[in-house]
Structure 1
């Protein structure tokens, strides 16, 4: 069992609320999403493990059990080419759950006409493996869902 933490503060809204069909239909995997608090902040590691992929707008952390969790900071944010994001860790780093990975500003993403909603996905998981999904207000580091 893996406890996946909220990477950002905001409102847990579920993947169905993500304005991108790939995420909202669960094609990437099951999980949840957070509509982040507007204003500068930091996105943290949802689990302890190794940063396997790190882009300014998204990262994947794989735990010692081999489970990977994707955090995507906003929708279509790859188009920003890193502008407005600052890496606080390096690909290959080992991180603890709750450790800051990327600094960003959801209000700047929104001002550019993009959704700042953050999908948090259990990669290669079966949909029924994700339980206890949080709803409503969450703080970075709060429990977001359980990966059975």
Structure 2
């Protein structure tokens, strides 16, 4: 069985190695891809159907019914913003559909505040060999496929 993981934001898909944080660039939390978002106020959408199991203004995890969990992190070190500039549209424990709005933010504003707005999208508790059709160096719209996760 394969799980299609969609892009949470519109932008350019890039390799995780491009993320300016070793936790992500060295895939310490798991394999995946990152998206360099367009620099305008926009909605961040769920990458998969599932339940919001972790929710912070700058990051969230959606777990599927079979236990696959996908982390979306909005920018690097953005936890330091303490939620400023992020508007949540769901609550922890809520069931969501792929493409459903989770957060609204402005990557340009994040960048102006001195933070990299790049968005890692991580397959938690997975190994790199289970990801296929990984989108890298291509433009993506929110909810376009980033990778397929063999389960």
Q: Which bin holds the TM-score, normalised by the shorter protein? A: over 0.9
Q: 1:130, 1:77 → 2: CA distance? A: 27
SS in 2 for 1:110: helix
Q: 1:130, 1:73 → 2: CA distance? A: 21
Q: 2:40, 2:142 → 1: CA distance? A: 14
Gaps of 5+ in 1: none
Deviation at 1:127, TM superposition (A): 1.1
Q: 2:26, 2:131 → 1: CA distance? A: 15
Compute the TM-score of the two structures, normalised by the length of structure 2. 0.97
For residues 33-44 of structure 1, the aligned pairs below 5 Å read 33-44=34-45
Deviation at 1:131, TM superposition (A): 1.3
C-alpha distance after superposition, 1:39-80 (max 9, x if no partner): 100100000000000000000000001000000000000000
Gaps of 5+ in 2: none
Number of residue pairs matched by the alignment: 148
RMSD, aligned α-carbons: 0.5
Matched, 1:127 2:137: no
Q: 2:130, 2:113 → 1: CA distance? A: 35
For residues 16-95 of structure 1, the aligned pairs below 5 Å read 16-95=17-96
Compute the TM-score of the two structures, normalised by the length of structure 1. 0.99
